[in-house]
Amino acid sequence: EPEVTQTPSHQVTQMGQEVILRCVPISNHLYFYWYRQILGQKVEFLVSFYNNEISEKSEIFDDQFSVERPDGSNFTLKIRSTKLEDSAMYFCASSDYWGAGNEQFFGPGTRLTVL
């Protein structure tokens, strides 16, 4: 069964460093999403991506964040100059149609720890 994969499973970084979180969506899916979940809190939408551009983003997704689809399979989230409060689990998801009305499939997450 096709699945969304994410790497690494756990990333530890120093405050101020840049990190890139990687996702491989399901191959025939066209819409891609990043979410984050701070420990003990609810899942929060960051950004959605379609046709090589951002289609929607939340207030959390500021200039510190960027997304890219560098090739036909990977979908990345870059966090520049990480802060302590960026420590969270980051989930990638994909869907074959626009997500609000269509099922999203989630990856296992990357746990980011900023020291």
Partner 1 sequence: KNEVEQSPQNLTAQEGEFITINCSYSVGISALHWLQQHPGGGIVSLFMLSSGKKKHGRLIATINIQEKHSSLHITASHPRDSAVYICAVKLIFGTGTRLQVFP
Binding site for partner 1 (CB under 8 A): 33, 35, 37, 41-45, 48, 56, 58, 89, 91, 99-106, 108-109, 111
Q: What angle do CA 113, 36, 93 make, to 5 degrees?
A: 120
Give 50 or 105: the residue with its C-beta nearer to partner 1.
Answer: 105
Residue 98 beta carbon to partner 1: minimum distance, rounded to whole angstroms: 10
Nearer to partner 1, 53 or 71 (CB): 53
> Which of 69/111 has CB closer to partner 1?
111
Shortest approach of partner 1 to residue 71 CB, angstroms?
Answer: 25
Ramachandran bin of 49, using left for φ above 0, alpha for ψ from -120 to 50, beta for the remaining angles: beta
User: Checking phi first, is residue 17 left (phi over 0); if not, alpha (psi -120 to 50) or beta?
Assistant: beta
